[in-house]
Amino acid sequence: MTSSVPSDVLGRRILCDTEYATVRYAGSVPPTTGLWLGVEWDNPQRGKHNGSHEGVQYFKCGHPTGGSFIRPNKANFGVDFLTAVKNRYGLNDEQDVECEKENALVIGKKTVELVGFDSIIEQQSQLNKLVDISVRECAVSHAGQKEEISRTCPNIRSINLSKNLLPSWEKVTDIACQVQNLESLDLSENKMKFPSDSGSITCTLGKLRVLALNRTGVTWAEVLLCSPEWPALEELYLASNDITVLERPINVLQTLKLLDLSNNQLIDGSQLQLIAYLPRLEQLILSNTGISSIHFPDGGFGCKTKMFPLLQRLAVDDNKISQWSFINELDKLQCLQSLHCQNNPLMGTEKSPETVRQLIIAKIGQLKVLNKSEIFPDERKGAELDYRKMFGNDWITAGGNQNPDKNRPNEEFLAAHPRYQLLCLKYGAPEEGELKRQQPFILKNQLLTLTIKCPDKPDQKPIEKKLPDSMTIQKVKGLLYRLLKIPGSELKLSYESSKMEGKEIELENDLKPLQFYSIENGDTMLVRW
C-alpha cells in the first residue's frame, strides 16, 4: 500500500465529497494503471456497478449499483477523536501556532515565546472542562494515541459520535474505554462491524446508561454479545437496523428501562415474548415494526400477565394492528399507563376517531395517556359507561344477566370484551330500558350552536361551538377538557337560556343528553372548575 492508504484499508469507512462508503477492494484494475479503491456506497444511487469491471468481479455489493472504483486521493479516511474535538470546539493546533506567532518578542537574533506555553495550558484547561461532547459528522475514524483521551478530557460524561467513519465496535471501545465516567453514547448512522464472539469483548463501560445504535446495521444477536460491556445500561436505541428476530436476554440487559426497536420489521408479535421478562423495562417503542398481533398466554380473560412486569409506556404507531383483540391483550399488562397507537388499520374501524379513543380507554382500565393526550377521570367514566351500554345487548344475547346467579356470558363474549363483567360490577348491569335503541327524529338529531363561557376565568374568551343535542353531558365534559386544556379537576356545567335571561340551570346528570335539559340554539353554557 502507498503512504496515502492505511495498511488496514479493507473494511475502512470513507467520506468522498459528501457521500459515505466502505472500502471493499484495494489494488489494480486492468487495463488502467495505479492503485484503485473499490467502494460500496451507503447510497447505492451514487454507484455504477456491483463491484465488477469488464467481466472481473473485484468485490461484492448488496445492491446492483452500489459499487464504484475511486482513486485513493478522493477518499477521506477520517481523523482521530481528539483532532475532531479540537476542530469542533475551536481548539486546533493551527490556532495555537498563530497565537504563538502574535505573542513573540525578538531580542537580538533570538525569538522569545512569551505566552506559547500559556496558550497550550489554556487549551488543555478548556478540554478538561468538556462534559458533553458532540462530534457528529466530523469524520472520526479512530481513537488516536493510547490513553491520550483519558489524559486530555477526563470529565466527559456524554459523547455524540453519530454519522462518522467508525468501521467497527473495536474502534468504538478504543475511544469509550478511555472515558471512565461515560454515561451517554450516540453511535447512530455508523455502519460498523460488530463482534462475532464473546472473545472480542475488551472492556466494560460500567457507568454507561444511554446507548444509541440507530442505523448501524447491528443485529439483536450482536447486541446480546456486546451487552456484557454495558452492565448499568438503562436506555437502548436500536431503530432502523433491519432486526427481524429476537432472542431472550440471559443475565444481560437486566437494568434496561427503555428499548427502542422502531423501524425494524419483526417477523411477528410472538417475538416480543422473548424480551418480555426484562425485569426493569418501563418503556418499549415498537413503531413501524410490522406487528399485527400480540398475545400473553399466561393471562386468561380479565387476568394480568407476568410478562413485561414494569412496562408503563408502549408505542405501536404505524403498524398493521386491525383487531380489537390486540387492545384487549394490553389490558393484561400490570403497569401500562401510556399508549401510542396512531396510524393503524384499527383506527378506521369505527364511525369516528373519538369512538375509537373511547373504546380503547374502556378496554384498558389503567391507561392514563392515549396518543399523548391525558385521560381525565370524567372521560374515563363516560367511555366506560358508553361501552357498557354499546355492548349491553350482545352481553344479554351471550348469556349475561342482571341476576348474578344467572349471569354466565359465553367465552366468545368474554374473549371479545374481557372488562365487561368488571364494568358491570363498577356501574351496575345495564337495564333493559337503557339498552332500547332510540328511533331517530329529524328535529332531535340537530346541531346546537352554543356559546361556551368560563365565568370564573375572565381571561378565557367565549367560544362558539356546534354540538349535537343527543350528546351526553359526560361527553360534553370530555370535549371541554381537551378544548379548554383544563387540568384534572371536576367540571361543573350549567347553562343560561336566551329565553330566560338571568336564570342559570345546572347540568347535573352526566348520563343525560343536552336535549333532556331543553337546551336550544343561542344558549350559553357556563363552565366552572
Q: Does the residue 104 lie in any domain?
A: no
* Same domain, yes or no: 29 and 146: no
* Same domain, yes or no: 158 and 245: yes
Q: Which three cell numbers stand for residue 298?
A: 399466561
Q: Which three cell numbers stand for residue 387?
A: 361501552
Q: Does the residue 130 lie in any domain?
A: yes
* Same domain, yes or no: 491 and 368: no
Amino acid at 111: T
- Per run of 10 residues, the mean pLDDT along the chain (length 529 residues) is 77 96 96 96 94 95 95 96 93 48 43 47 73 97 95 96 97 96 98 85 90 97 96 98 94 98 92 95 98 92 92 98 96 98 93 92 97 94 92 94 92 95 92 60 65 90 89 88 77 84 83 83 90
Which secondary-structure segment (H or E) carries 252?
A: none
- Quote the longest CA-to-CA distance of the chain: 113
Confidence at residue 154, expressed as pLDDT on a 0 to 100 scale = 94
Q: How far apart are CA 511 and CA 331, in angstroms?
A: 26
User: Looking up cell 374501524, which residue turns up?
Assistant: 349
* Same domain, yes or no: 248 and 353: yes
Confidence at residue 115, expressed as pLDDT on a 0 to 100 scale = 45
* Same domain, yes or no: 235 and 154: yes
CATH number at residue 56: 2.30.30.190
* Same domain, yes or no: 390 and 422: yes
Q: How far apart are CA 196 and CA 194, in angstroms?
A: 7
* Same domain, yes or no: 398 and 370: no
* Same domain, yes or no: 414 and 373: no
Number of domains in the chain: 4
Confidence at residue 508, expressed as pLDDT on a 0 to 100 scale = 84
Confidence at residue 98, expressed as pLDDT on a 0 to 100 scale = 40
Q: How far apart are CA 379 and CA 512, in angstroms?
A: 15
Confidence at residue 109, expressed as pLDDT on a 0 to 100 scale = 45
- Alpha-carbon Rg of the chain, whole angstroms? 33
Q: How far apart are CA 356 and CA 342, in angstroms?
A: 11
Q: Does the residue 98 lie in any domain?
A: no
Q: How far apart are CA 18 and CA 6, in angstroms?
A: 21
Q: How far apart are CA 38 and CA 131, in angstroms?
A: 39
Confidence at residue 2, expressed as pLDDT on a 0 to 100 scale = 52
User: Looking up cell 366552572, which residue turns up?
Assistant: 528
* Same domain, yes or no: 341 and 406: no
Q: Which three cell numbers stand for residue 442?
A: 329529524
* Same domain, yes or no: 398 and 344: no
Measured between alpha carbons, how far is residue 240 from residues 288, 496, 501 in Å?
10, 56, 63
* Same domain, yes or no: 216 and 301: yes
Q: Does the residue 112 lie in any domain?
A: no
Confidence at residue 441, expressed as pLDDT on a 0 to 100 scale = 42
Q: Does the residue 27 lie in any domain?
A: yes
Vertex 158: Cα angle to 157 and 163 (nearest 5): 155
Our separate counts of H helices and E strands in the chain read 14, 26
Q: How far apart are CA 447 and CA 464, in angstroms?
A: 12
Which DSSP string do the residues of 162-182 spell out, in sequence order?
-SS---BHHHHHHHHTT-TT-
Rounded to 10 deg, the angle between the 377-390 and 473-484 helix axes is: 140
Condensed to tens digits (0 to 9), the pLDDT of residues 370-384 reads 999 999 999 999 999
CATH number at residue 83: 3.80.10.10
**Domain that includes residue 417, residue range:** 380-427
Q: How far apart are CA 332 and CA 106, in angstroms?
A: 82
Q: Does the residue 294 lie in any domain?
A: yes
Measured between alpha carbons, how far is residue 192 from residues 21, 69, 202, 296, 448 in Å?
11, 21, 17, 35, 62
* Same domain, yes or no: 223 and 278: yes
